[in-house]
Amino acid sequence: MAESKKDERSSSPLHVVVFPWLAFGHIIPFLELSEQLAKRGHLVTFVSAPRNLARLRPVHPELKPRIRLAPLPLPAVEGLPAGAESTADVPPEKVELLKVAFDGLAAPFAAFLADACAGGEAGEGHGRKPDWIILDFAQHWLPAIADKHKVPCAVFLIFPASGVAFLGTKELNAAHPRSSAADFTVPPPWIPSPSCIAFRGHEAEWFARAWDPNASGVSDISRILETTHRCPLLICRCSHEVDGQLCSLLGDLHRKPVLPSGHLAPYAAARAAGVAGSGADDDEETASLMRWLDAQPARSVLYVAFGSEAPLSPEQVAALALGLELAGVRFVWALRRPVGEDPPELPDGLERRVSGRGVVRVGWVRNAEELKEVLRDTARQERYIDDLVEQLLQRRTME
């Protein structure tokens, strides 16, 4: 590549294809990362199944022109309910069928990428050949497709840094095989001693099953190990402030760059940009919650949350509310709004009766430690993304 073309390419915006697994616990942080890239002037093509894209929260108008949504319809799979496109649409026992459908996207994605690369490096905007593909743990088949078009891949792992370190690499697991649940109740040999990173007995039984092939013919662990093995760059949703030395340990274990993304608080990109209407009310609600937490005695607040995989029925919401009220404990309840549905209704007068000792918040709530360590310093998040973008830019221009 001529020197002038190198300089021109290094200064032009990135075009990044972002492709998460079919779970909103993955889709949301992938969208937040996309917003951070778009905030810095880079272009993102965000790939998912059509219904998932339709259920995304709105991207702020200032960022929206740089984020293109690209639907890839899932193939029909026997036993998978019609219209099921995410783990929120199926019971746990049918998630493996969702992986069968997801693997069926290999050929459509290959066609999509061929079309995306057709414009070459001279193309404009989203019509330019992608510089990177940021994929999830589940696409063990994708790096081979990307290699044919000479598009580098980075895997974005949303799992805790401790979990990524505990899992290790394909090579480390081959050298130190683990199969029984008991193997996972102790730290693996590649984590420096002393360490308490291990599973409890009931957790270890669940984790051991993740090594068994499911209906897709591939185990979840094999997907992660193969994907991280094939990608030249890893991005981990972690930070030095929260995860400490684990951040550098991950790079040592994988023998390739592992870049922290920070913890990617929702709407962080729009808020950091100072965009009007990008969540000021949410900021004030978070600040109020933090002030309340600071006023409580240490280790006295119960955090109640069920995540994105366990939506509560109205009856369950009512029962849990009654239990919290009768227990008399201090609590923060992150009551999740089901995707595409109205907020769940609380019993009449609950918030008045628990005022001063209980907080119910519909939507996203970090735990207290992360609130203190991450949300108070948005500049810290900005530095992580700036470093990540710098690495993506530098590696794009490498011969």
Q: Mean pLDDT by 10-residue block, N- to C-terminus, for the chain (399 residues)?
A: 52 93 95 95 98 92 95 97 94 95 98 93 88 97 97 97 97 96 96 94 94 96 98 96 93 96 70 46 69 88 80 86 91 74 78 88 58 57 92 78
Residues 223 and 89: their CA atoms lie apart, in Å, by 22
At residue 278, the pLDDT reads 44
At residue 54, the pLDDT reads 95
At residue 135, the pLDDT reads 98
Q: Which one is catalytic: 89, 103, 131, 136?
A: 136
At residue 149, the pLDDT reads 95
Residues 367 and 188: their CA atoms lie apart, in Å, by 28
Q: Which one is catalytic: 26, 60, 254, 263?
A: 26
At residue 363, the pLDDT reads 62
| Burial grade of 98 (CB within 10 A; 0-12, 13-18, 19 or more) | buried
The DSSP symbol for 182 reads G
Report which residue type is found at 314. P
Does this model's pTM top 0.85? My answer is: no
At residue 252, the pLDDT reads 96
HSE of 355 in the Cβ direction (CA atoms, 13 Å)? 4
At residue 131, the pLDDT reads 96
Question: Residue 156: beta bridge partners?
Answer: 235
Residues 355 and 367: their CA atoms lie apart, in Å, by 20
136 catalytic residue (yes or no): yes
Q: Where are the alpha helices (DSSP H) in the chain?
A: 3-11, 24-39, 50-54, 95-103, 106-117, 142-148, 161-167, 170-175, 201-209, 220-230, 240-243, 246-254, 268-272, 280-294, 314-327, 350-353, 368-370, 378-396
